[in-house]
Structure formats: C-alpha cells, structure tokens
C-alpha cells in the first residue's frame, strides 16, 4: 500500500487536528501559571489565598485560547 492510499484512508474531522494544535500553547501556559503559583506558595505560604485567586484568573485567561480552538471547529465555513 503506497503513501497516497494511506492518506486517502484517514478520515475524521480536521477540526480535531486544529484543536490539538490550539491546545499546545494553553497547556504550556497553564503549566507555567500553576507551577509558578506553587513556587510562590512554597516561598511565602501566608500568601497562598491571594496567589490562588491570581492563579485562577491567570488560568482563565490562558485556557480561553484553547476554548477558542474548540469553538472554531464548529463554525461552518462555506
């Protein structure tokens, strides 16, 4: 079986690939946000509450990109 036949046999939604690509950035971003928060709390445990609020806000901003990635797949392009 040559390469073109294999390619032709792959089916599914191209949006899934798009979402996979869109998820890379937010994944790294959320990792950095949470990691830094843990670092901060380890250094100054008394700031844990304040840092957690900031962490959720940071995660919310970062992961929005991933959700845009999901949403774009559902937009019907002509």
Partner 1 sequence: MPRLASDGEFHGPSIDEFFPEILFTVAGIPVHRIHLVQLLSVIVVVLLLVLGTRRMKVVPGRFQSVVEMGLDFVRGGIAHDLLGRKDGNRFLPILTTIFFMTLFMNITGIIPFLNIAGTSIAAVPLTLALVSYVTFIYAGIKKSPGGFFKNALFPSGVPWPVYFIVTPIEFLSTFIIRPVTLMLRLLMNMVVGHMLLVLCFAATQFFFFTAGGGWAALGIGTLAFGGAFTLFEILVAVLQAYVFTVLTAVYIQLAVAEEH
Q: Which of 2, 53, 75, 77 binds partner 1 (CB under 8 A)?
A: 53
Burial 35-74 (b: 16+ CB within 10 A, else e): eebeebbeeeeeeeeebeeebeebbeebbeebeebeeeee
Choices 1-9, 23-31, 33-41, 67-75 (CB under 8 A): range interacting with partner 1: 67-75
Smallest distance from the beta carbon of 2 to partner 1, in angstroms?
Answer: 29
Q: Which of 24, 32, 57, 78 binds partner 1 (CB under 8 A)?
A: 57
């Amino acid at each position: 079986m040559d390469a073109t036949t294999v390619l032709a046999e792959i089916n599914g939604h191209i949006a899934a690939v798009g979402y996979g690509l869109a998820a890379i950035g937010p994944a790294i971003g959320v990792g950095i946000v949470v990691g830094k928060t843990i670092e901060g709390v380890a250094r100054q445990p008394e700031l844990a509450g304040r840092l957690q609020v900031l962490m959720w806000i940071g995660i919310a901003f970062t992961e929005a990109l991933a959700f845009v990635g999901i949403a774009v797949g559902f937009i019907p392009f002509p």
